[in-house]
Amino acid sequence: MECDGKPGKPKLAVYWGGSCGGCEIALVNLGERLLALDERLDFFFCPCLLDRKNKDVEELDDGAIALTLFNGAARTTENLEMARLLRRKSRLFVAYGACASSGGIPALANLDTPGSLSRTVFLESPTVENPSRHVPGSSSPYCTPALSLPKLTGSILPLSAIANVDYLIPGCPPEPETVWSAIAILTGADLPPKGSVVGAGTVPVCDECSRIRGEKRLRRFVRFHEAVPRDGECLLDQGIVCMGGATRSGCGALCPGANVPCSGCYGPPEGVADQGAAMVGALGSVLDPGELAALPEGEMAARTDALFEGIPDGAGTFYRYSLAGSLLRRRRP
């Protein structure tokens, strides 16, 4: 295969950092539209599809790639290097999906330290066999010259904190309609202002959800597996934490439409800086702890704590995809 790619077609790069591969599946889910994409763009670099080497990218002139979609979190030193290299080589550098946009699920590891994370994942997990005790950052004795595994970064940051990001595509993974409309925008003549989220809406998911919202007075939360949601009625009204009010629209309210609460994968709506804080603030205004004024302080605290028993994992509920991009970012050492 020629390393120059296909002359005449603008080059496309799709790179994965610390990710599950779902963003690549989202591309495959374009179906026949993939052929139209291939007509317009040259898939130049895409580790899950093509055996092209980093050196092929390094040899390109700066700005030679028309569009890079970088998905996954910048979890390792290799991811950081690739983010900076692809940024330099690309005219448009796009955070593709929740992990690149705001850390995604991998950023929940910001609640741990890299050392403890390495021990748990590579040494202590019951399903792991690692007799040579290789962890990120160590070198392999089986290769000559010695090969070193990339180190873990201290914590996960949004891609925009590592390299200059032009646009963001939200979702875990982004829905095919989101991907298609984002690519149409990014390859079109009129680009939106730099830093825009493309391919999605601006308002909350609740605005595109068909469930009927009522007057909310929440006395307790139930975990999703404990409830059988009633059809047509807002899930949050039923005490099931649904992040739709603090999440950007664009998916068509897929999850509530399938009886599953929105977990927030499209990130915060336009103008909201911190998705978790927005959701906690919204819940604060609909909780009904009963009459508290006459209660002793300890009982008052116990009553409000009891309200939250149905939300045992606050970080994983309110910041499932956005911890790295939030005001909190990580657990303080």
Is residue 253 within the footprint of ligand SF4 (CB under 6 A)? yes
- Rule CB under 6 A: choose which of 11, 211, 329, 330 binds ligand SF4: 211
CB within 8 Å of 219: residues ≥ 6 apart = 239, 288, 289, 290, 307
234: contact with ligand SF4 by CB under 6 A: yes
Q: Do the Cβ atoms of 136 and 125 come closer than 8 Å? A: no
> Does the footprint of ligand SF4 cover residue 165 (CB under 6 A)?
no
Interaction between residue 251 and ligand SF4 (CB under 6 A)? yes
Position among 205, 278, 283, 323 found at the interface with ligand SF4 (CB under 6 A): 205
Residues 6 or more apart whose CB falls under 8 angstroms from that of 220 comprise 239, 306, 307, 309, 310
Q: Is the dihedral of CA 58, 95, 313, 330 positive or negative?
A: positive
**Minimum CB distance to ligand SF4 smaller for 76 or for 275:** 275
Shorter beta-carbon distance to ligand SF4: residue 42 or 237: 237
Binding residue for ligand SF4 (CB under 6 A) from 16, 70, 266, 318?
266
Verify binding: residue 282, ligand SF4, rule CB under 6 A.
no
Among 57, 242, 279, 324, binds ligand SF4 (CB under 6 A): 242
Going along the chain, which residue ranges are E strands?
11-16, 42-45, 65-71, 90-96, 139-140, 147-148, 167-169
Helix boundaries (H) for the chain? 22-28, 33-40, 54-58, 77-89, 98-102, 114-118, 176-186, 254-257, 275-284, 297-307, 314-318
What is the token pair recorded at 127? 């399903």
Choice from 247, 317, 322, 326 touching ligand SF4 (CB under 6 A): 247
Cα angle: 198, vertex 57, 152; to 5 degrees: 75
Does residue 82 belong to the site contacting ligand SF4 (CB under 6 A)?
Answer: no
254 sits near ligand SF4 (criterion: CB under 6 A): yes
**Nearer CB in complex with ligand SF4: 100/162:** 100
- If binding is defined by CB under 6 A, does position 201 make contact with ligand SF4? no
Binding site for ligand SF4 (CB under 6 A): 205-206, 209, 211, 213, 234-236, 242, 244-245, 247, 251, 253-256, 262-266
